[in-house]
Amino acid sequence: MRDYLAITKALSDETRLRLLMALRDQEVCLCQLAELVSLASSTVSKHMSILRQSRLVEGRRDGRWTYYRLADKDAPVAVRKALQWTLESLADDPRVARDVERLSEIILVNPQTLCDDTCSPKKGVAPAVGAKRLRPAAGSSR
């Protein structure tokens, strides 16, 4: 029952669903995900932690960066079924379609550029909210 509760908790948040859908075709860096959903990297990291605890996603470190991908075929059956259901159910969602378009632009930007802008404020200088962002996400309030 613990696995089921972890999966349903992970799937009960719109942002986590958007992050999950962003990983359906590729591995993506945390900074790129933060840019996609227009949230602080620490907030996205917490969301990704919940997705990892449910085993819906896997992560790996590469230097400063953490990359995430959907769980593979070796994941527990409940995880594979939850992923299949989620991916099929949200495949035609308009918000997901906008995210796919936006992510295709974000992927072209070097992760170091995004990470420097969103994850590593210069010593003694607080970054401006949204500073050096690509452009606000469609439907965002920025």
The torsion defined by the Cα of 65, 66, 68 and 74, in degrees rounded to 10, comes to 130
pLDDT band at 119 (very low <50, low <70, confident <90, very high): low
The torsion defined by the Cα of 20, 23, 27 and 32, in degrees rounded to 10, comes to -80
pTM of the model: 0.80
pLDDT band at 132 (very low <50, low <70, confident <90, very high): very low
pLDDT digits (tens, 9 = 90+) for 57-67: 999 998 888 99
Walk me through the domains of the chain, giving residue ranges and CATH numbers: 2-116 (1.10.10.10)
The burial class, CB within 10 Å (0-12 / 13-18 / 19+), for 35 is buried
pLDDT of amino acid 103: 95
